[in-house]
């Protein structure tokens, strides 16, 4: 038995070794035709989902790929992996910069890009604890990526794709609200430019992704350090390969103007983080020990400190859609459903309004105004995360 499994080994043994959302032959043919001789700009290319997606593109006859990410080290790692796996005929460029600092419209024009794919996002609720982090979260998630200019003048640009999250359904955090606002901006964009392909996909948690609890448990167990795990929280999970396949499915013509979500019978039940922690530790040949505080243990034991308190901004369970959202059949593929992009609040996002914010409380007022929370409990919960 392997003493220390790699993250890839763990992901395959705990979750799905083969993608539940692997493209069918006719879907693969459509994507191949669409991407042939294309020029693709990928924001957030070195993140967990962006990287998994970028590596899958090696099988297509693409003309040019530009990988854009603010994380220099992750971008360098992506460069190394792609050099080992990619067809040398595909032109490749790596740009290390923050999307908030560039003129995306000029970038799209100069590069003659046919596809703009945005994986960049801030995803941690902890970012909401500080005003400056919160401003950065909002600009990154739902303001700066929309500085696209007049799409009618971007003759080469055919498709626009953003990633969303299951946290937009009944959001209990500013992060969830920001991504819901992002979906709303995509609706306005599609309304204005009806001939442009625009889509998004709502993600479950990606197993062992960067910054995730599962990856933290793995790393702490390797170092013989105690891990902290919430007691009640459950989440849906997909593998990295499944995440990338869901993005590819979102580029099919059937996905145009839609929010793609996994079908309930395919995604399965939510998994308790507590149970997953035990599974990971056992697979790493250690005995999980639940403790209230750090104490001395044997070499083959791993301490788990359970948190029974509610984590601010975190729901115990997630949802992929709300009751007021109409799920539609995705033709030819029962594994996924689609929701038409729709207006989920009455106003477009005003960059000027967000620029005037001076405190976390200002953001609370904006979100309550733009995104009208119907349940009083939700409004109270949002106030509690300040």
Q: What is the DSSP string of 67-116?
A: EEES-HHHHHHHHHHHHHHS-TTSEEEEEE--GGGS-HHHHHHHHT-SEE
What is the per-residue pLDDT across 261-293, written as a single tens digit (0 to 9) for each? 999 999 999 999 999 999 999 999 999 988 877
Quick check: helix, strand or coil at residue 316? Answer: coil
pLDDT band at residue 295 using 50, 70 and 90 as cut-offs: confident
Give backbone dihedrals phi and psi of 288, rounded to 5 degrees, phi first.
-70, 130
Contacts of 356 by beta carbon, 8 Å cutoff, 6+ apart: 362
Q: And the tokens for 120?
A: 């960049």
DSSP conformation class of 355: H
* 176 pLDDT higher than 50: yes
Residue 315 has pLDDT above 80, yes or no: no
Q: Please tell me which residue, 83 or 197, carries the higher pLDDT value.
A: 197
197-201 and 258-262 beta bridge pairing:
parallel
Give the pLDDT confidence of 322-356 residue by residue, as tens digits: 998 999 999 999 999 999 999 887 666 666 677 78
Query: What is the reported pLDDT for 125?
Result: 65
Separation of alpha carbons 365 and 362, rounded Å:
5
Place of tokens 């500013």: 174
Q: Which residues pair with 69 in a beta bridge?
A: 96
CATH class of 21-205+237-266+317-384: alpha beta
Phi/psi of residue 9, each to 5°? -60, -45
pLDDT band at 374 (very low <50, low <70, confident <90, very high): very low
Between 88 and 50, name the one with better pLDDT.
50
Q: What is the pLDDT of residues 47-74, one digit of tens each?
A: 999 999 999 999 999 999 999 999 999 9
* 3-state SS, residue 281: helix
For the entire predicted model, the pTM comes to: 0.90
> Residue 219: CB partners within 8 Å, gap ≥ 6?
none
232 vs 158, more confident: 158
Output the pLDDT for position 326.
Answer: 94
Distance from the Cα of residue 144 to its chain's centroid: 17
pLDDT digits (tens, 9 = 90+) for 33-43: 999 999 999 99
pLDDT for res 7: 85
Closest CA to 283 of 233, 212, 222, 211: 222
> Among 62-71, 94-103, 122-131, 242-251, whose mean pLDDT is lowest?
122-131
Judging by DSSP bridges, how do beta strands 258-262 and 336-340 pair with one another?
Answer: antiparallel
* Per-residue pLDDT band at 383 (split at 50, 70, 90): very low
| Cβ within 8 Å of residue 275, ≥6 positions away | none
**How many of the other CB atoms lie within 10 Å of CB of 140?**
21
Q: Angle at the Cα of 190 (from 184 to 191), degrees rounded to 5? A: 90
């Amino acid at each position: 038995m392997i003493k220390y499994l790699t993250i890839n080994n763990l992901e395959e043994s705990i979750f799905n070794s083969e993608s539940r959302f692997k493209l069918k032959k006719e879907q693969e043919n459509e994507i191949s035709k669409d991407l042939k001789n294309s020029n693709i700009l990928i924001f957030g290319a070195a993140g967990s989902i962006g990287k998994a997606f970028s590596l899958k593109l090696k099988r297509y006859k693409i003309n040019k790929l530009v990988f854009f990410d603010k994380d220099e080290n992750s971008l360098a790692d992506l460069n190394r992996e792609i050099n080992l796996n990619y067809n040398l005929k595909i032109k490749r460029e790596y740009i290390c910069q923050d999307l908030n600092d560039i003129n995306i419209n000029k970038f799209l024009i100069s590069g003659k890009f046919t596809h703009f794919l945005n994986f960049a996002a801030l995803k941690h609720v902890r970012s909401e604890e500080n005003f400056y982090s919160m401003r950065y979260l909002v600009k990154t998630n739902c303001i700066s990526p929309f500085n696209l200019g007049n799409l009618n003048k971007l003759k080469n640009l055919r498709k626009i794709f953003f990633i969303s999250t299951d946290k937009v359904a009944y959001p209990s955090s500013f992060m969830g609200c920001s991504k819901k606002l992002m979906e709303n901006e995509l609706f306005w964009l599609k309304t204005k430019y009806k001939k442009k392909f625009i889509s998004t996909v709502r993600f479950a948690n990606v197993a062992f992704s960067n910054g995730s609890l599962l990856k933290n448990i793995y790393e702490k167990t390797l170092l013989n350090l105690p891990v902290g795990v919430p007691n009640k929280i459950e989440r849906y999970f997909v593998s990295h390969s499944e995440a990338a396949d869901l993005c590819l499915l979102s580029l099919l013509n059937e996905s145009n103007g839609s929010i793609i979500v996994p079908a309930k019978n395919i995604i399965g039940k939510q998994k308790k983080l507590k149970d997953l922690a035990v599974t990971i530790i056992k697979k790493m040949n250690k005995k999980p020990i639940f403790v209230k505080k750090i104490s001395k243990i044997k070499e083959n034991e791993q301490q788990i400190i359970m948190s029974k308190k509610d984590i601010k901004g975190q729901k115990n369970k997630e949802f992929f859609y709300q009751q007021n959202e109409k799920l539609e059949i995705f033709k030819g593929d029962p594994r996924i459903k689609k929701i038409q992009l729709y207006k989920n609040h009455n106003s477009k996002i005003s960059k000027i309004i967000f620029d005037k914010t001076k405190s976390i409380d200002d953001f609370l007022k904006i979100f309550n105004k733009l995104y009208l929370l119907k349940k009083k409990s939700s409004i109270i919960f949002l106030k509690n995360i300040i």
